[in-house]
Amino acid sequence: MKLLIVESPAKAKTISKYLNNEYTVRASVGHIRDLPKSNKNAIDIKNGFIPHYEISAGKEKVVNELKRLAKKSTDVILATDPDREGEAIAWHIKEALGLKKPKRIVFHEITKQAVNEAMNHPRQIDEDLRSAQEARRVLDRLFGYDLSGLIWQKLRYGLSAGRVQSPALRILVEREKEIRAFIPESFWVISALFKSENKTEIPFTCSIEPKTEKDALDIISASKKAKWHISDIKETDNKRQPRAPFTTSTLQQAASSRLGFSPSQTMRLAQKLYEKGHITYMRTDSTNLSTAALSDIQNIISKEFGADHYEHHVYSKKAKNAQEAHEAIRPTDVAKKMEGTTDQEKKLYRLIWTRTVSSQMKAANVLRTKITAQSDDKNIPVFATTGSRVIYPGWLLADTRASGEDIEVPKLKIGELLSLIEIDSVGKETTGPNRYSEAGLVKELEKRGIGRPSTYAPTIKTIVDRGYVTKEGKSLIPTDTGETVSDFLTAHFDSYISDSFTAQMEDELDDIADGKRTYEKTLSDFYTPFTKVIASKKNIEKISNLGEAPDNIKCPECQASMIIKLGKGGKFYSCSRFPDCNGALTLEGKKLEGPKDLGRVCPKCNKANLVEREGRFGKFISCSSYPKCKYIEEDPNAEKPGDTGVTCPLCNKGTMVEKRGRFGLFYGCSNYPDCKHIIKTKPTGKICGYAREDGPCKHLMMEGTKTIPDRCSDKTCPNHNPHKLEK
């Protein structure tokens, strides 16, 4: 027997179709080891930044099963993703399973040809790639742990900083400050409707924008008395070149603008399409296409649009130090115009198909026309109208959404007289810079060399999840908390959250991957000066005052002056006499109520009193010394909404109740926080009982699909996968 290990069950299922029965294909279900949460035991800095890894929580059964299968196998093949993270996962599997010489294979698409080709050319684990990923993980831990600890002391507990997230946040905060500082200027737009000699009505606009209403009214008054004619007609042929095939960055941008998908959503869908064998690997900054792919694209263009529309293009790599993957993101079989299981997967696949095919088609030819109208009064500015129409569609045949609408202008001739039908003006104001959208921020991060393809989506997700940024429509807006954290970092650690430092670190990680730089030197060069800067900031005062409140804002309790502070919900007004007075107001002027002391000692820590707090889902009782003590008390007489009545199989004390978290509904033990057992969907009350090699499965069954009503809550159990149940 031969064992082949991949990351995900979906990928395992796809690969199994291409291999014969001598191979057993299993999934590690992502990473199986990671650094412990405590930094004290995570990294041995003195002895060369040696990381100490632990089996990730919940992965013990996966590791044990893989160990058991590896002992029975004559060969173990590691087929994790073809990038640094995939190389690191392969190495962690090797170490955790105690493998001596496992074979490593890589492929950029999960097709029979690609898998078999990879199986014929195994190699050893690339230690340089693995070291580069390990350096990134250790670097991010050291940076975030030390800097976050200082922010807790000087700003507020629970805040954090990150090597890539902090520069991204800084970019958003800088734009927000530009928007605030922008002073709008008034201007007027004058629009006129003319009639040509053949009675065609044509809208024109003034080619200058008057600064005052009087200027606009003077132009309107003079225009009504003047005689008008066509003074100029310009026709220009413009070529619209096709766009390069998708990289990770451009896919995220296009999916955001066209489909409304967030970068993290786009990457989840792309991951599923890749694992099902529909597209090539989705983490890449290369725009290359293989010779075989180009041949297939030429054939599909000839079939769908005509051979005369094909034209081979080679695109330059715009991303700094483009690396890691050999090809752009493309369909594995371009003859298939639609793939995917869900509507969202199908939309994303179609977008990838369209960009891939259109990238190898001829440029579109667009005729742009500008017509100028002039009066006999030299004091009146000229008016103009423009139009455009597609003369030759080229690549727009494949990407119809990019073509826009033809704006026809009537056939006119120079000198032709015009009659003014109506003229009017509208007062407007200049607008400041736009806020970044998710697509815009991804583009900006790539432009500045901050992060790499795999980091864009998780970076944006992190700053949103941490409450540093909110999304309104497509705009990313820094919160009070986010702006305060960014200002603190800019004031004290500007060089470490600068574009140049972040980009330089990415270059050094690339050098490790290329074997040009060592792991220990890279971390030492960073950490030695970094710790000195951290130490130098230990004595700065805690920032509890973010400024004075306006003079008209007085404490609701004692009428004293107030100051601005940062709380969990953002900025608020606090009495300047705190802690002698607890008066507080929101920035909108509403009174803030603090936790209500119940006069009972916490039964867990036996030190602090219990208080009644107001949470996102209503009132609850907890220890006043939170977060040191995380005791939460439930009212035994209170109705428990969503209580399934199913006993928790982990503690046998609580019941599984419906809860709502950051990512939606889930079911957790009512005995939380003493028991933290959770499952994704509603339990049926049945125990799985699936006959596994280590005995019958004792996990709860969850409600599944219409065709398969029950599925096991344990991901490592075959009963968890509906497709395996169908078999």
pTM confidence score: 0.76
Q: What CATH code is carried by the domain that includes residue 99?
A: 3.40.50.140
**Do 7 and 118 sit in the same domain of this protein?**
yes
Supply the pLDDT for residue 651: 85
Q: How far is CA 714 from CA 37, 308, 454, 615, 665, in A?
A: 24, 55, 28, 31, 18
Supply the pLDDT for residue 726: 39
**Do 419 and 439 sit in the same domain of this protein?**
no
407 occurs within a structural domain: yes
549 occurs within a structural domain: no
261 occurs within a structural domain: yes
The tokens for 255 are 């999916």
Q: What CATH code is carried by the domain that includes residue 329?
A: 1.10.290.10
Q: Which of 425, 454, 474 is the last residue of a domain?
A: 425
Closest CA to 276 of 359, 346, 335: 346
Supply the pLDDT for residue 727: 36
163 occurs within a structural domain: yes
**Do 279 and 343 sit in the same domain of this protein?**
yes
The tokens for 104 are 């490593």
**Do 17 and 108 sit in the same domain of this protein?**
yes
User: Across the chain, how many H-helices and E-strands are there?
Assistant: 17, 32
**Do 30 and 92 sit in the same domain of this protein?**
yes
The alpha-helical segments, DSSP class H, found in 155-210 are 165-181
Read out DSSP for 152-168?
HHHT-TT----TTHHHH
Question: Which tens digits make up the pLDDT trace of 27-86?
Answer: 998 899 999 887 667 899 999 999 999 998 888 999 999 999 999 999 999 999 998 999
Supply the pLDDT for residue 322: 46
- Give the C-alpha separation, 467 to 706, whole Å: 37
439 occurs within a structural domain: yes
548 occurs within a structural domain: no
545 occurs within a structural domain: no
The reply to whether 23 belongs to the active site is: no
Supply the pLDDT for residue 521: 94
Residue 584 lies in domain: 562-633
**Do 86 and 23 sit in the same domain of this protein?**
yes
Domain count, the chain: 6
**Do 616 and 579 sit in the same domain of this protein?**
yes
**Do 530 and 575 sit in the same domain of this protein?**
no
- Give the C-alpha separation, 452 to 322, whole Å: 9
**Do 652 and 705 sit in the same domain of this protein?**
yes
Active-site residue, from 281, 349, 573, 672? 281
430 occurs within a structural domain: no
- Does residue 253 contact residue 396 with C-beta atoms inside 8 Å? no
**Do 350 and 261 sit in the same domain of this protein?**
yes
Q: Which of 633, 662, 688 is the last residue of a domain?
A: 633
| 3-class state of residue 291 by DSSP | helix
| 3-class state of residue 301 by DSSP | helix
Q: How far is CA 273 from CA 12, 346, 349, 530, 641, in A?
A: 13, 9, 8, 41, 38
Residues of the chain with pLDDT under 50: 321-325, 724-727
Helix (H) or strand (E) segment spanning residue 420:
strand 417-429
Q: How far is CA 135 from CA 42, 43, 123, 129, 131, in A?
A: 13, 11, 22, 10, 6
